[in-house]
A and B are shown apart, each in its own frame.
Chain A
Amino acid sequence: MKKFAYYQPKSLKEAYGLMEKQGGNAKYIAGGTDIIWRVKQGMTEAGALISLRGIEELAYIRLNGDLALGSMVPFRTIERDSSLAKAYPSLSEAVSLLANPQVRNVATVGGNLCNAAPSADCAPPLIVLDAILTLEGPGGKREVPIGDFFKGPGKMCMENTEVLTQIRLPKMAGNSGTSFLKKGRVSQDIAIVNAAAFLVMEGNLCRKCRLAVGAVAPVPLRLRDVEGMLENQEISTELLDRVAEKVEQAVSPITDVRSTAEYRRVLSGVLVKKAIREAHQRAGQQ
Chain B
Amino acid sequence: MKRVIKFILNGNTVSAEVESHKMLLEVLRDTFELTGTKEGCGQGECGACTVLIDGVSINSCLYPVFEVEGKSVTTIEGLVGEGGKLHPIQEAFVARGGIQCGFCSPGMILSAKALLDENRAPSDEDIKRGISGNLCRCTGYVQIMDSIRDAASRLSGQD
- The 8 Å CB contact of A102, one of B47, B67, B129, is B47
Q: Does A33 contact B (CB under 8 A)?
A: yes
Distance (Å) between the CB of B87 and the closest chain A CB?
A: 19
Question: Is A21 on the interface with B (CB-CB < 8 A)?
Answer: no
Which positions in B face A, CB cutoff 8 Å? 1, 19-21, 23, 42-45, 47, 50, 56-59, 62-64, 66-67, 111, 114-115, 128-130, 132-134
Instruction: Report the separation of the CA atoms of residues A101 and B157 in the bound assembly, to the nearest whole angstrom.
Output: 26
Name the one of A40, A105, A187 contacting B58, with C-beta atoms under 8 angstroms. Answer: A105
Q: Does the CB pair A37–B57 fall under 8 Å?
A: no
B64 and A51 form a contact (CB under 8 A): yes
> Is A155 an interface residue, CB under 8 A from the partner?
no
> Judging by beta carbons under 8 Å apart, are A37 and B132 in contact?
no
Q: Indicate if the CB atoms of A100 and B58 lie closer than 8 Å.
A: no
- Asked if B67 and A36 sit within 8 Å, CB to CB, the answer is no
A185 CB to closest chain B CB (Å) equals 12
User: Taking the complex as formed, is A86 at the interface, i.e. its CB lies under 8 A from any CB of chain B?
Assistant: no
Is there an interface contact between B129 and A101, defined as CB atoms closer than 8 Å?
A: yes
Q: Is the interface of B mostly helix, strand, loop or mixed?
A: mixed
Contacting residue for A105 out of B1, B23, B56, B132, CB 8 A: B56
Q: A6-B64, A101-B114, A101-B133 are in contact. List 12 more A-B contacts (CB 8 A).
A: A3-B21, A6-B66, A33-B62, A36-B62, A37-B43, A40-B43, A49-B64, A100-B47, A101-B111, A102-B57, A103-B133, A186-B132
Asked whether any CB of chain B lies closer than 8 Å to the CB of A53, the reply is yes
Beta-carbon contact of A102 and B50 below 8 Å: yes
| Nearest B residue to A41, CB-CB | B43
